[in-house]
A and B are shown apart, each in its own frame.
Chain A
């Protein structure tokens, strides 16, 4: 992505952590060089954080605060009035032997502390790299799996391809449903103009018997190609497919006008 995200909600979706792969990387690469979008993301983070208020109120136990303050005091920060300081062991006596052991062990202790910090930092870095690699691997596996399913579907002899024709007076668009009842798989590809405000497109599988079945709700951006695969319900034989215009988020049953449609001959 060279320009700004096309829709304001992209910042909220990014802040939620819902975006992945190319969508996520596109925003990240743009944010690095755009102060306006960085501010929009900060606002989106704040909005998204407010979802926390949906959680039932749980007050922490009193000991959490006590432990926190004890930890702060143990850190030994200066400038806090009435802070109790435990006497140091080296000051408590021990004569010449105490001072001798202290002189020997102190540098060893410092060396061990430095080594521990270095190892801890290295471990943290390796853990971060492993987590990033793991996330990339999962995304790639998911993409590969979907590509395999699509290849199987397209290669099967009994797979049926249904081009969807645009309806007069509706937004421009084309679409195609590729399905295989035996494999129980359905794939949609299409490109239609963005839906009007507060509306979504919804694909319906119209079976030989029974009510239309929801096969996906979508809201494409300008020039965006919509594509997804899904499992078909068992024992269903389609007689038609249609894309309708519905209230945002889709409906349990079709209520709006057809935008694309095709009967299966």
Chain B
């Protein structure tokens, strides 16, 4: 590791964004190294198509390069925003919607439960999420994953699983309640 790379890895998201605003490619590369794995994972899970996932991944970071001056790290989470954008785009691609439909998302409108700009925090959060999902009854986890990874609404989940709409609503509500309790700081 050369000294410059070390500095990049230690820099906060806010510092890297500031450098991107000043058109520093190495800051973009550092943010890519930090978050591309996380985004690639969710894109591949939703799309199950490596090439499509790679296209969206590249587009997201290119958008960050183009619009970085609009992002205020003190008001929102970069990791959260990148993840929400990745999921929205993948679901749109999956459902053959216009990629921009449903993406009325302000750059500062996602607040994650913890700062994810270091590997330790990311792994700690990953462990908490996996433990929370592991504790859910199978039926609740299934509806939560259908909603998140396939972008299905209550009615669409009911149609897919054959369960009554009321049952689906209750299961999903219980699942998000559990997730919320687990992720509360």
Contacts and interface: CB of A to CB of B under 8 A. Distances in A.
A228 B154 contact: no
Given A64-B57, A80-B25, A218 B169 contact: yes
Interface stretch (A42-50, A109-117, A159-167, A253-261): A42-50
B98 A55 contact: no
Interface string B30-48: 0011001110111011000
B45 A56 contact: yes
Interface in B108-133: 108-113, 125-126, 129-130, 133
B62 to A, nearest CB: 6
A108 interface: no
Nearest to B45: A55
A8 B183 CA distance: 14
Contacts of B140: 249
Contacts, number: 217
A219 B166 CA distance: 8
Contact of A69 (B29, B80, B155, B175): B29
B179 A18 contact: no
A214 B162 CA distance: 12
Contact of B112 (A49, A57, A127): A49
Contacts of A68: 28, 32, 58, 61-62
The 3 closest A-B pairs by CB, nearest first: A55-B45, A46-B112, A127-B98
18 contacts: A12-B179, A18-B147, A48-B148, A48-B176, A51-B148, A51-B149, A52-B38, A55-B149, A59-B37, A60-B37, A69-B28, A80-B23, A127-B101, A128-B98, A131-B97, A217-B166, A249-B139, A249-B174
